[in-house]
Structure 1
Amino acid sequence: MILMQPLPTPCPPGLVPDATDVDAFNAAYRRAKQQHQVFVAVEEQGRRWTVKADTLTAGPDHTIVDSTYDAIRAAVIRLIRSRQIRADSSAGPIYFVLYDVERQQRARDLAAALHAALYGELDPLTRAPYPKHPDHGGTGPALPRHRKINLVDDHGSIDPQDRPPGDAGRGVRTPS
């Protein structure tokens, strides 16, 4: 049996395992469990990437304070609102998954930041750089491509001419 070196904490993005293949996932998970570390990996899913982390592999002595969970949840919400990850991503408390990351390097950056946060080092997560976005040529999240439409008039009824095609009377978001 080959003993693999433990991941350093914080883990550099380049050392985050690619667990796209089932065997690679199992090997990385088994290594984390044997070394009583938080499991972290990235997986390619179609043309997007997923970040996964699991604290069960670190064992019962690994504790995470509430303020760390709060910071992770806040970061996940920020990523969801900026459309960098899907809304069904999970912010723990034991298993963490960030779906639909656009590029492998971004997934690795987020995985490394999450791994560090799960060991109490929040700076990488709070500083997790925004990728450059072509909508505005700078850094930061994509600019919103929709606006909320209020379909209810002052009397509480919906004006049919304001209703988008196919809308059954509920407020929807439409492209601006």
Structure 2
Amino acid sequence: MRAYISAISAVSRALGIVAALFLLSAVFSVSHMVFVRYVLNQSTVWQTEYTTYAIVAATFLGAPWTLLVKGHVNVDLWQLSAGPKLRGVLEGLSGLASMIFVGLIAYAGWYHFEEAWVNGWTSETVWAVPLWMPLLPFPVGMVVLFLQYIAEMMRLALDGATDPDAPLAHQTALFSETTAEPRS
């Protein structure tokens, strides 16, 4: 179980880095677009579309890393006021509900990606990018997010519920595998 958790966490961290690179490339794309439009006084062809696709790709590919560091929005009023056992049950139910949702989204993303691939869809812009390319991060990110949810459920089964008073070391760990100490 720990090997699976480590492997999926490593994949999630790698996708987090890829997501950061997509955001960085979007910044460069916007900077290039501003230069071309306002300094060279020329029209742009691909920059706006690329920036949109890069930000969406970063969102979906970065979702597993965000779960790994517990960065998703979480309404945890009941969890914080509950005892450790009930907190574990609530975290488990929340994880299962999220897995169902993410699984459905992953399926829809794969279906849409496959349609674009098989039918040779392209964007309706001058750039005419094949749409399977910007659609691919959608199912990939959601599948890895689903696998990260499985890892978090395993972590919950092994280590118990999250202690709301204890700092979570793995919340800020992008490059290393560090987690909160297991309870005895």
Please classify the TM superposition score into its range, dividing by the shorter chain length: under 0.3
Structure with bigger strand share is: 1
Structure with bigger helix share is: 2
What is the TM-score with the length of structure 2 in the denominator? Answer: 0.25
Flag the structure with more relative contact order, 1 or 2, with Cα contacts below 8 A and sequence separation at least 6. Answer: 2
